[in-house]
Amino acid sequence: MKMQMWKKIGLVSFTALIGLSLAACGNASDNAGGTDNSASGDKTEIDIFQFKVEFKDQFESLAKKYEEEHPNVKINIETVGGGSDYGAALKSKFSSGNEPNIYNIGGPEDVNMWEKSLTDLSDTEAAKQALDGTLTGSTKDGKVLGLPYNIEGYGVLYNKEIFEKAGIDASSIKTLEDLEAAAKTLDEKKAELGIDAPFALAAKEQWITGLHGSNAFLNAEFDNDVMKAYESKTVSFKYGDQFKKYIDISNKYSVQPTNSLDYSQQIEQLFSNGKVAMTQQGNWVYPTIAGINEDLANNNIGLLPIPIDGVTEGTIPVGVPMYWGVNPNASDEEVQASKDFLDYLYTTDEGKQIVLEDFKFVPAYKGFDTDKISDPLSKEVYTYYTEGKTTGWVFMGYPAGWGEQTVGAQIQKYVAGEASWDEVVKTAQDKWSDERK
């Protein structure tokens, strides 16, 4: 979509994410250094508590490089994400008094929750360079309280080689009917294709179904505007029938039982090893796949839309997965050092090169050479974006925890045959209304 459209969409990311497990990730909880907020000698220590496990190693390498160039700064990084509950872990950090200097927040729900522990970052160079609309979800009362990580997109990942062998033209898949037809063909040929099933629906991961899955069908209801979702007292599930159809297709043609499939099985065991042809995920999984099957990662992955037939056909949801917040409850030196580090990351030549080439990020800032976006999935997301074939991420406007703990949990009951779809919708509607009273 055009740059100005980001303002309307209010690209944001993981809002329900305070209490939710974060997307896009495998399991990890690692501490690269101490977690003491005190200064060590003449050095200013920055404690970073972040969720994105896919770039953990690269991020720690960048921190060491930064320390070498800034000998008066010590950076400690702790990563908790994927199957772990980052939101709960963050609350625990603050309640224990072991507050990080830099941490992650989602959209308006998180901004409201953590406002007193967020520094105004309006004066940072990174805030000035952020793409139009990417700060909408982290801005309140004119203050920029979070800086965007990057831009991410998701849909149905597919194995190009398997599709070709099955005689399926991926470019023709625009609607749910098209997706179902492809799944049926793959199912009929799975023996000769050497796959276990067409799909891997990781229903165990409630964020996959309850956040990302639901967003694909709720974004149109809220006009692709995260603030409309955030301010809405009710949710109607206007396109709930199509959401049901998507879940039904994914579940029927998936490796079973879907409630037992987690991120590791979905991506590391099944998709990366060519045991399934399709699975719902985003460009953030590229490093994981590349570490297992480099040929697949670089030559045979594509991204299909999750469409609302007749409404959002041929589009993928694109947004900001999370924001960097800076804790004001520290020394002036620590606050300034935190700002300086984030500016280095997104506005210096060295930082920008690392963001593009090592982190494999699609940048949410101006001044990047986007021709150097290096992995195929990120290139495809950027192509969808530049061609205007994207919808927003309104799930950051969901009530806190609603996407995972209500929708995701109810879908688990649905695929297990323990709840009807009408019960799923009714429970989700009631919980939304209760949270917004």
- Reported as a pLDDT band with limits 50, 70 and 90, residue 83 is low
Q: Is 60 exceeded by the pLDDT of residue 4? A: no
43 forms beta bridges with 40
- The count of residues in the chain is 437
Distance CA(249)–CA(145), nearest Å, equals: 40
Question: In this structure, which CATH number among 3.40.190.10, 1.10.1060.10, 2.60.40.10, 3.20.20.150 belongs to the domain 153-319+392-436?
Answer: 3.40.190.10
pLDDT of residue 99: 96
* Average pLDDT over the chain, rounded to an integer: 89
Q: What are the Cα distances from residue 229, in Å, to 166, 220, 225, 424? A: 40, 11, 7, 19
- Reported as a pLDDT band with limits 50, 70 and 90, residue 85 is confident
CB environment 230-242: b (16+ within 10 A), e (fewer): bebeebebebbeb
Q: Is 60 exceeded by the pLDDT of residue 41? A: no
- Please state the domain extents for the chain: 44-151+320-367, 153-319+392-436
CATH architecture of 44-151+320-367: 3-Layer(aba) Sandwich (3.40)
The phi and psi torsions of 300 (rounded to 5 degrees) equal: -130, 25
Q: List all residues 6 or more positions away from 100 whose beta carbon is below 8 Å from its beta carbon.
A: 35, 37, 47, 48, 49, 78, 93, 327
- Reported as a pLDDT band with limits 50, 70 and 90, residue 86 is confident
Q: For the chain, state the CA radius of gyration.
A: 21
- Reported as a pLDDT band with limits 50, 70 and 90, residue 55 is confident
Q: What are the Cα distances from residue 199, in Å, to 35, 74, 193? A: 41, 45, 13
CATH topology agreement for domains 44-151+320-367 and 153-319+392-436: yes
List, for residues 210-246, the tens digit of each pLDDT value: 999 999 999 999 999 888 999 999 999 999 999 999 9
List, for residues 157-191, the tens digit of each pLDDT value: 999 999 999 999 999 999 999 999 999 999 999 99
User: How much is the pTM?
Assistant: 0.81
Q: Is 80 exceeded by the pLDDT of residue 378? A: yes
